[in-house]
Chain A
Amino acid sequence: GQQLNQSPQSMFIQEGEDVSMNCTSSSIFNTWLWYKQEPGEGPVLLIALYKAGELTSNGRLTAQFGITRKDSFLNISASIPSDVGIYFCAGQLVREYGNKLVFGAGTILRVKS
């Protein structure tokens, strides 16, 4: 099936540092979503992007929908210990029946305080 390439696979950073992760695909998407998952829980939606070139912020989080509609990035500024978790990107294919999403494999974020 369709796949998203998400990188990096994991990050171990110092508290206060900025974080950047991205997803790329060979397919064009009409929506990009970024989720965060904590251990043993379901993913929680962080940011939704609907237009190519769109740049959206949610507190310390900033995400962009790539101009080509084949990529997206998520930045986290001034990381804190509660940022720990797995971050997933997800793309919705153009005119896909039922809003099917394609997920990246996730970026594991660890923060050292």
Chain B
Amino acid sequence: DGGITQSPKYLFRKEGQNVTLSCEQNLNHDAMYWYRQDPGQGLRLIYYSQIVNDFQKGDIAEGYSVSREKKESFPLTVTSAQKNPTAFYLCASSSRTGDLFSYNEQFFGPGTRLTVL
């Protein structure tokens, strides 16, 4: 079945440690996205990527880093510089319909809940 997978489902980290969240999709989608979700708030965009080896900062990129070495993979690293990393992290992807301004709707993975101890 085609879809988006995120691992692990739950992740615990000590303060000062970097941690990497995995996101893989087998939908052959061009674009991939990382969002952060906090209680009572909408999703906020961290980073996004339209093509391999290219990515752009979203609204809250500070303290995070990404890579896009393969079309199907878009890992997110939460660094020790992120001051409040405890949150629910969601990965999404979408396919392009035409030029870089034309995409279909985004589909989401099941999420990773990160807790900093």
B31 within 8 A of A: yes
Q: Is the interface of A mostly helix, strand, loop or mixed?
A: loop
**Residues of A with C-beta under 8 A to B40:** 105-106
Report the interface size for chain B: residues with CB under 8 A from the other chain: 28
B114 at interface by CB-CB < 8 Å: no
B101 contacts A48, C-beta separation under 8 Å = no
Report how many residues on chain A are interfacial, defined by Cβ distance under 8 Å: 27
Using known A-B contacts A40-B113, A98-B50, A100-B58, determine if residue A88 contacts B42 with beta carbons closer than 8 Å. Answer: yes
Q: A98-B31, A103-B42 are in contact. Are A41 and B110 (CB under 8 A)?
A: yes
Which B residues lie within 8 Å of A42 (CB)?
A: 4, 6, 90, 92, 108-111
Residues of B within 8 A of A (CB): 4, 6, 31, 40-45, 48, 50, 56, 58-59, 90, 92, 94, 100-101, 103, 105-111, 113
Given A99-B94, A101-B106, output 14 extra A-B contacts at Cβ < 8 Å.
A6-B42, A35-B108, A41-B110, A42-B90, A42-B108, A43-B43, A43-B108, A92-B103, A95-B101, A97-B50, A98-B103, A99-B31, A99-B101, A101-B43
